Each structure stands twice: as C-alpha cells, then as structure tokens.
C-alpha cells in the first residue's frame, strides 16, 4: 500500500511544482506587461507635455524708415482657433522693428496635461494686444481682448462653458492660488513675447501644452496643430 501511495505523492508534488512554475511564469509575464504598459504611458505623457500648438503666424509685409523711432513695421497677423483653423487675418503697423505680442495664459497641472484631459489637456491663451518697442502697451492694438468679455466670437466657436468660465474668472484665478487649484490651474498670468521682425519673413507663435507662448521664425519650427 505504501509502495502504491509513494508514486501518487510524487505525481502530486510534480504537478504542484509544474503549477507553481506556470503561475510564476504567468506573474512574470503579467509583470513585464504591466511594466511595458507603464513605460508606454509615461512615454505618451512625456510626448504630450512636450507638444507645441500653432496659435498665430506673423507675416511681415513692409518696413519703412531708418532704424530707431522713425521706423515702422507692417505685418499680417493670422490667428488660429483651437482646432487649428485660420481666423480672419488682420494687419498691424507698429513703431520700430520689435513687436510685442501680449496674451493671457492658463497653464494646467501636468497630471491633467499628461493624461490628455479633455478640458485641461493643454495650456490656453487669449491674445490681448500687439505693440512696438516705441509704443506703450496701453497704446497698442487690441486683438482678442477687443471683445466685450475678452472672448472673441471666432475663438468662442468650439469653446466649452468650462473654458469660458476660466476666462471670466481669469484675474480671480491669477490672484487666488486655492481657487486656481480647484480648477486644476497651475498658473494664470499675462505673457508678452517679442522679436525683431525682418521684412519678407514669417514668424510663428506657438503655445506649449504644459507651458507658455513662444515665437520664432516659421522655417525653424515644426509645430503640431
């Protein structure tokens, strides 16, 4: 009887060892898959954080006068909506050859941006005005801020109620960190980027998904719309 039970025990032990080995391989593969999925998620998050979106093009059409206060620069300003569609072009002439582009900017917590949150997945902006180096900001030309509530009709298309509320409460968010944090807003501030413009050149304004505005020659930038 004992001789009969010994092989059974041996078979049972071998079967148990095989099951444990199989379970171990399963856990190992699942662990590797989990690691791979996490690595992929992190790579996608990093990619989203580094994304830039085109928000406007500046096409310099004329420049007159000697360098300094007597020089004027004329350019066509083409703004793009959230979907990358060009809005109605506008022409501006500023004093000097350095132009400043002033905007309100909302930056969200990186967790929202990295996760591609539908409401807070990228920084938002509203242009206020443009002015030359020999002009006071208050004497500049209104852009988006020309609308009664600062939200132009063209930009309002496709803009949800959440974003509209953010712009209406912009200055409150800028001055109250707790209120901003409840909306997922990391920074609410004004930004002005500027560059010396050259005739015949095109410059591109972009906004970083997790940052602010940039301006550079269009030929040096491959922006994602």
- pLDDT single digits (tens) 161-184: 888 889 889 999 999 999 999 999
Instruction: State yes or no: pLDDT of 51 exceeds 90.
Output: no
| Confidence label for 225 from pLDDT (cuts 50, 70 and 90) | very low
> Strand order of the sheet with strand 52-64?
90-95, 72-79, 52-64, 202-208, 213-217
Distances in Å between the Cα of 203 and the Cα atoms of 75, 99, 103, 156 are 10, 11, 17, 25
In the numeric block, which tokens belong to residue 28?
A: 């190992």
- pLDDT single digits (tens) 24-47: 666 666 665 655 555 554 555 555
pTM of the entire structure?
A: 0.75
User: Could you give phi then psi for residue 29, rounded to 5 degrees?
Assistant: -65, -40
Task: Look at the block and give the residue holding tokens 């929202």.
Answer: 112
- pLDDT single digits (tens) 108-149: 998 888 888 888 989 999 899 999 999 999 999 988 755 666
Smallest CA-to-CA distance from 146 within 215, 77, 72 is with 77
């Amino acid at each position: 009887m004992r001789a009969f039970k010994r092989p059974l025990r041996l078979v049972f032990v071998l079967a148990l060892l095989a099951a444990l080995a199989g379970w171990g391989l399963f856990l190992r593969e699942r662990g590797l898959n989990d690691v791979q999925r996490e690595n992929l998620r992190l790579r996608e998050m990093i990619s989203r954080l580094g994304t830039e979106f085109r928000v406007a093009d500046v096409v310099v059409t004329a420049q007159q006068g000697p360098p300094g206060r007597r020089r004027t620069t004329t350019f066509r300003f083409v703004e793009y909506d959230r979907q990358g569609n060009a809005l109605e072009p506008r022409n501006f002439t500023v004093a000097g050859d350095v132009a400043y582009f002033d905007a309100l900017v909302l930056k969200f917590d990186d967790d929202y941006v990295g996760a591609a949150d539908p409401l807070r997945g990228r920084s938002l902006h509203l242009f206020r005005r443009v002015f030359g180096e020999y002009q006071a900001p208050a004497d500049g030309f209104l852009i988006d801020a020309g609308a009664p509530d600062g939200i132009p009709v063209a930009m309002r298309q496709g803009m949800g109620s959440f974003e509209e509320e953010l712009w209406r409460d912009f200055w409150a968010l800028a001055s109250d960190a707790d209120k901003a944090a409840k909306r997922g807003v990391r920074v609410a501030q004004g930004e002005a980027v500027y560059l010396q413009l050259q005739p015949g050149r095109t410059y591109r304004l972009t906004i970083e998904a997790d940052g602010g505005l940039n301006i550079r020659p269009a030929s040096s930038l491959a922006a994602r719309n």
